[in-house]
A and B are shown apart, each in its own frame.
Chain A
Amino acid sequence: MPSQTPPQTRIDRCFAALKREGRPAFVTFVTAGDPDYETSKAILLGLPEAGADVIEIGMPFSDPMADGPAVQASSLRALQAGQTMKRTLQLVREFRAKDNLTPIILMGYYNPIYVYPSAAFLDEARDSGVDGMIVVDVPPEADEELCLPAMERGLSFIRLATPTTDDKRLPAVLANTSGFVYYVSITGITGAAAPVVSDVRAQVARIKRSTPLPVVVGFGVRTPEQAKTLADCADGVVVGSALVEAIRTTLGPDGKAGPDTISSVHRIVQNLAAGLRGAASRV
């Protein structure tokens, strides 16, 4: 695409490359330090090869109010294993040392950032190789607290748009968003009811009329078929609860990582990635 200026960030480069390939982005979510630091690192390092295009890393929080039981449990496992914000940034640094291409988005809640405090968190996140962040409980009305300082440091602040984001509110939601827009396909918590495809198609089309940014769809996506159908209406899909559920179901009786914990997450990612590419399962 010779007429366009070269994309600046890993996120922009990633979506531009996917567009050239003509396929949707597969965005995966796992929680940092779930079920422990080393297992979490091995899961993350294997995600790109398994088919993840973008990686969202959850910053564990004691009170994840927008998350369903699967992500809540995942957050608690990580905290019980000693995960902290410092170790989450360390995890990103260790990932970056081995993979300098895959975009990394930190996702979570404001309080652990606020007490870090925010400025130091943003500096260290940038220096660790983080590309963007999603902070669920900081709305555009509070942009000067976190979003604008993040942008000043070259970090993308990715906004959630939801079924309740009406036309009147959409411009405010999009105003300082960069990287991509995350469309929350249901009113509800992560991992809840399956979205209605026709509604999602109409809503994504509405958002795309107002922004040139890619739009990805998440909340409630579990199966390869569902991922493929939703990806047809958007620029990508996010899968999270299904992955952290795979971690939970493979834990040993002591609650620690089992022999299949890492491989089972990667296997699900491979299946979903294959579904998204419209091909038969490789496994």
Chain B
Amino acid sequence: MASPTTSDTQAPNSFRAGPDDHGFFGLYGGRFVAETLMPLILELEQAYEAAKNDAGFQAELRDLLEHYGGRPSPLYFAERLTEHLKGAKIYFKRDELNHTGSHKINNCLGQIQLARRMGKTRIIAETGAGQHGVAVATVCARFGLPCEIYMGATDVARQSPNVARMHMLGAKVHSVTSGAGTLKDSMNEALRDWVTNVRDTYYIIGTAAGPHPYPAMVRDFQAVIGNEVRKQMQEREGRLPDTLVAAIGGGSNAIGLFYPFLDDKSVKIYGVEAAGHGIDVPNGHNASMTGGRPGVLHGNRTYLIQDEDGQILEGHSISAGLDYPGVGPEHSWLKDTGRVSYVPITDKEALDAFQLCAKLEGIIPALEPSHALAYVQKLAPTLPKDDLLVMNMCGRGDKDVFAVAGYLGMKI
């Protein structure tokens, strides 16, 4: 039996039916973890299924999202950017206005409720940009649970405002020095903690990746983004959007926006990957679907940046949140089926978009959605004026101002 290397690319009847009972989206996903963790993963799956179908759990979560998280987030017509680009009518989904400054709080409120329901008494998490780490530290403070965050040493340096926030919220931050000291390494270290403290500890994974049920669970908690856009766009324009654009690291904000629209054939969907120094620069980017191939890491099969021997590469992105050599398995499947187009954007293009957005719209975006913005800059002028385009502004740029000032040579 040869190992499959590409999935069956035939279009399914629905793009919203996955994963299957074993956690697979076609070839991708699954539960590739050590035996110590297997019983936990199976228990988590059962607990999540029960919570999902529990009206009380869902009502409590809705209440928290509204009164603590600040949902719904606005759908904002970016008038000056639209005029500037002379094409599609551009809307921003303002998830950067959420409590803690990004979409990450949506998932953390869901998972902390689940952890409490399962009787877990200690929380761990990995973080790249620190947006997930801050959101985890926040919900742990809110519910009085001890919290330890693993963050790569490189990211600790380039996202220092978020490190300070985590400390102030009472979290312990471990600076991870293995590898390149980025998101991949922090996830390895969080998994090592979990396998050691398996009985009392709940691991809040922040992206739509990892072993089943995490990819599906994170997607479900983030789908509030797309569900709101559906409703808000009906109210504003009386119809569905035509085009969706979101940045992809692991892909949680993107799958949250995309998922409710996957079966609406008229909606064109674009995921924007980090091309770093350029797709042609060896180990110089983290566009795993544009420049990688399928493999197994961190509990799931998915597109990975790797060498010929199956060693995972560090890659590069200016954005700590996109600096990850893998991607959520559902995105890998959506790529192979052709439902979503995945496109690369370089560091430089993202920096240009960051500045354009700040000056035209008075919104300082995080470097992650700056990648999505950069693609909007390319795409919008090619679209008709009545094309309704929604870009997910998934995080605010406060955390990035010092790093960006450094890249631009500004004196502060």
Contacts and interface: CB of A to CB of B under 8 A. Distances in A.
Contact of A187 (B30, B196, B297, B304): B196
B14 interface: no
Contacts, number: 128
Contacts of B294: 114
B296 A164 contact: no
A165 to B, nearest CB: 6
A241 B219 CA distance: 39
A116 B310 contact: yes
11 contacts: A60-B311, A63-B179, A68-B192, A79-B311, A84-B309, A86-B309, A111-B306, A113-B310, A137-B32, A137-B296, A187-B198
B36 A137 contact: no
Given A65-B298, A115-B295, A137 B33 contact: yes
Interface of B: 1-3, 5, 22, 30-40, 178-179, 184, 188, 191-192, 195-199, 293-299, 301, 304, 306, 308-313
Nearest to A148: B1
Interface string A99-143: 000000000011111111111000000000000000011110110
B309 A85 contact: yes
B178 A72 contact: yes
Given A117-B5, A187-B196, A112 B309 contact: yes
Interface in A183-197: 184, 187-189, 192
A114 B295 contact: yes
Contact of B32 (A79, A139, A173, A189): A139
Interface residues of A, number: 48
Given A63-B297, A145-B3, A165-B39, 19 more contacts: A62-B311, A63-B298, A65-B191, A65-B298, A66-B36, A68-B192, A111-B304, A112-B310, A114-B3, A115-B306, A116-B310, A137-B32, A137-B34, A149-B1, A162-B35, A165-B35, A187-B196, A188-B192, A189-B192
B40 A142 contact: no
Given A61-B311, A115-B306, A160-B35, A142 B293 contact: no
Contacts of B295: 111, 114-115
B2 A63 contact: no
Contacts of B195: 65-66, 187-189
A188 B312 contact: no
A115 B305 CA distance: 12
